Every structure is written in C-alpha cells, then in structure tokens.
Structure 1
Amino acid sequence: MDQPIAPFEAWFGLSMLPHWHLHAWLMFAIWIVLIPAVVALTRFGKPPPTAVGIPKGSPKLGRKLYWFTLHRACLFVLTVISVAAGLMAVAASNGFSGTLHAVFGIGTLVLGVLQVVGARWRGTHGGRDPEQGTPNRPVFTRGDHYDMTLRRRWFEACHKTVGYFALVCAIGAVATGLSQYWKIGIAIALGFVIACWMVIAIVLEAMGFRHDTYLSNFGTGAHHPFNKARIDTISGDGAT
C-alpha cells in the first residue's frame, strides 16, 4: 500500500501519497513524445537554404526561426518539469533507490540539465547584418557560429551527442520502470511511439526536409567561412 511521502511531511507538514501511474505517464509524455517532437522539429523544420540565409532580426516565431525558438523554449520548460517530477519520485522513494530504473532516470535528468546549462556556451551568432550594407554589398559580422570556431564545433558535437544519449537513457528509464511498475498502456504506447518516430524520421529524411543548419542560417554562398572550408576540404586544398 502506498505510504505518505515523508520528506514533504517533514518539510511542509503535508501528507502526500505517491501516484506512480501519473509519474510514469508524465515522464513518458515528456521524454518519449514531446522532447523527441521538439528534436524532430529542429532537425526537419529548418527552412531550405537560400542565397541570403536567415537575416538577423527575423521574427523569433516567424517562418524561418520558429524551429529554433520552440527548440530552446520547449526543451527548457520540459526539462524543468521532468526534474521536478524526478525529485518528487526520489522523495517518494525516501532517497535514491539504486535500482536500474533510478540510474537511467537520474542519468536522463542529468543529461537534460546539461543540455539546458550547456546551451550558454554556444557562442555568438554572427552572419549577415541587415542594418548594415546593401543587398548588393551585404555586411557580415563575425561570430562563433558564422566562423564555425573551435568553440562552436565543440559545442555542436557535445550538444547533439548528449541530446541523443539523453533520449537513449529515457527509453531505458521507461523500459526498466515498466519492469518495476507494469502498465500495459505505457508498454504498448512505447513500442508504438518509437515505431512512429522511426517512420517519421525516414519519411522526412527521404522527402528532403533535413537541411544543413549552417546553410539555412547563413546562405549558400561560397564566401561564407564554413562553406569555403568545406569546399576546400572536398577539393583537397584543406586536407591534412
């Protein structure tokens, strides 16, 4: 039988019963449905590359930048909610239980928090400045992203890799959680949703919805630093 959560009684004088089914469905919705949806939006929602890219000052929720705005805002909110739900689960268990589910769960939350905190190290943006120059003589400002500095390269490598590992840990947390607290509905939904995401990714990839982030942001011109570096590498001029 469920027992009241002792820490909440001690700290706030509240007697609360843990509702594990709500915890399970909430974490499933956040980490298996909503966060992958945001990741898919970021991967496949960028505008097709153009000659001019995305000018500075474009509306944050406009057609060209909504994918980035939602990526940042939604992942922050969802991570905060999941951390709060995770801490309540730890309190309900009277501390870290040491089970495999707890290891996967804490790992997911730690990686999620690292994603939010680590975003501060993405560096400056740079790129075409619409307030300077003319359409025929555009002015480009320096920036970590525009120049693809070493800082930006390390940030992208860490951000993408940690993000994918967080999703793997989340799947592990759900699977091991089912071994402790079996919910047939979540088990069926887990298999169905994972299959759906696989099909969606394949279809969108095949239809050409995945666009290079640098090309979408800054344009297709060969004079842009990272475009030029890639052309040199392909031609052999930048080979080491």
Structure 2
Amino acid sequence: MSTDSQLPRRRFYDVSSKEHVVISSEEASHTPIPVKGLTSEVSIYEPLLEKFHDLHQSVNHFYKTSVLEYQNLTHAAKNEIQNSKNYLNENFVVGNEYEMKEKLVPSVFYSLIGFYTGRIVTNPHNWNSVIFGTKSLLGKITTSLPSRLLFPIALGAYTFENQTPITYQRVGAVVKHDVLHKDTIEIIDIGKQEVEKTRKLFNDLSETIDLTLQKQIHRLRQYAVDTWPF
C-alpha cells in the first residue's frame, strides 16, 4: 500500500459556491484562495458626474449668451450714435454751417440770459415795492401763473430766434414733425391761424384809424385855411 493512500483526506469548502463541496487536498493546492484587499475596485458615481456636466453646460450657455448679448448691444449703440449724427447733420448742419459753428454757442448763452431775465421779471418777490406792487394791475398780470410759465420761455425763444434764425426755424420744424403729436400740431396750426386773424384785424383797424385821422387832420387844416386866411 502506498503512502498517499494511507494519509487522511482533508476536506475543503469552496467559498464561491453556496453549497458545500468537498474537494481533495490535491485540488485545494491548485485552487487560488481570494485574499481581501489585494485588489481595489474604482466605483464611478454617475449622478455626481451628471450634475457637474449640467453645471458646465449651464455656465457655458450663460457665457455664450452674455457675449452675444453684449455684442448685440454694442452694435446697436454704435448704430444709434451714427443715426443720431446723421440726423443732426441732415436737419441742422447741412446748409447752416455758419450758425452752427460760429453763432450757436453765443445764441444759447444769450437765450439762457433771456430765460432767467423772464424768471426774474415774473418773480412775485421782486415786485414788493411801493410804486409797483403785486396788488397793482401790472404786478398781477406779470406775476400770474401763465406769465410765470410762458414769459421766460417766450423771451428765451425770441432771443434765440434773433441770434440764429435759420437754426430756430429748423428746430421748430423738427419739433413739429418729429416730437409733437398730430393732434397737438393741428391745435398749434389753429392757434397760429387765429393769431394771424387777430393780427390782421388789428392791422386793418390801425390802418383805418390812421386814414381816419389823416382825413380829419386834412379837414381841420382845410377848415383853418378857409376860415382864417393869412
């Protein structure tokens, strides 16, 4: 009998199987035994990576959108500035170079003087004197609310018109066509027509009075010549 047959057979259990399997010592010597900790397994946390990916996409989209918006705003601002320059050049500068270069600044300065002069004249505190008080007719008219609102503007506009008449006309045309509403323009035109009618009426009345006075003076002279011969 051989020596191997006399040795007792040792029993081993396969840990990888749920059932206990008896293996011999020869099989056990060739079976690898798993050792915990010799290998490391890298686990990837997919939800966290998805969050970082979404955050990166959001930041990238925000950056690109901001750059495009900035470029659009810059381009629009340049276009507006150029359009404003062209508008001013077409409506005020062309054909009016002398007033715009030589007389505009002094005209604006004189207009401001006229405006503040009107403010001083219509100020009620400046009428507290013995001769011209606020209770007098002239003081009431001058310090009334319409006078305080309109007289300074009218005086400043009159000064600006006298200093730079062409620029004044162009400013009026621009305000009429590009600023005021159509209904407001119609009201202003009606007011101008009424003013012209009133002015014509006063002119006709003045001419009639002048002719009447001339005729009366001529009659008096003729009467004097006929009555008192010299």
Query: TM-score per shorter chain, which class?
Result: under 0.3
**Rg larger for:** 2
TM-score, length of structure 2 as denominator length: 0.24
TM-score, length of structure 1 as denominator length: 0.24
Between Structure 1 and Structure 2, the one with more strand by share is 1
Determine which structure has greater relative contact order: mean sequence separation of CA pairs < 8 Å that are 6+ residues apart, divided by chain length: 1
